[in-house]
Structure 1
Amino acid sequence: MAKKTLVGVVVSDKAEKTVSVKVERRFMHPLYGKVVTRTKKYAAHDESNEFRIGDRVEILSVRPVSKTKAWKVTRLIERARGVEGGLAEVAGGEA
C-alpha cells in the first residue's frame, strides 16, 4: 500500500515526541455547490521535539507507533511567524 502524505498545522506540542497536526480539506458540496471546509487532527511522531505550535508540516503515514499515533512528521514547510522562543521570552520580559 502506498504511503499517504498530508500537510497541516501543528496545534499542540505538549506531549513528549508527539505533535497534534490539524489538516484542513476543502471540497465542493455535491448538492448545494458551496465550498465546505472539514478539519481533522492527527497525532504525529516528532522524534527530536523540534516542531512548535503554528508550524506548517508534512506528515507521512507509517506503521502504528502507539495506540493513537500512526503518522510521522517528515519535513517542515513553514516556521510559525512571530514565535521564536515561545512563552519563555514573554515570561522573562515581564519579571
Structure 2
Amino acid sequence: MSGIQVIITFETHPEASAPFAVLLDQVQHDLPRVNGCQGVRVFVGSEKPCVFTLLEHWDSEVAHQAHIATVVASGAWDRIATHLAKDPVSHYYRERVPKIAA
C-alpha cells in the first residue's frame, strides 16, 4: 500500500457524540473525493462512544496538510471543533512491510 496513513482521534462532549457521528457520516462520504485522499474509515469507541478515530489514506502528508489548510480557511474546522471536548490527536504512519526471506 503506497501513500500515508493518518490516524486521528477525536473526543466529543457527551451530548455532541450523536451530531458528531452524523458529521462523520458526511466526512466518510465526501473525503474520498478530495484530491489526494484514497479513502477513510471511521471507528467509534465500544466502551467510550464519545471517542471517534479516523483512519485516512492519503497520497502524501503534503496532500493531507493541503486539505487541512482548506478546512481551516473555509471555517469548517470551527464548526467541527464546537463538538470536541479536547483537541484531536493525529499522527502520520507508513505501513511497515515485514522483511522475511521467502
More strand by share: 1
More helix by share: 2
The structure number with the bigger radius of gyration is 1
TM value normalised by structure 1 = 0.30
- Does 1 or 2 have the higher relative contact order (CA < 8 Å, sep 6+)? 2
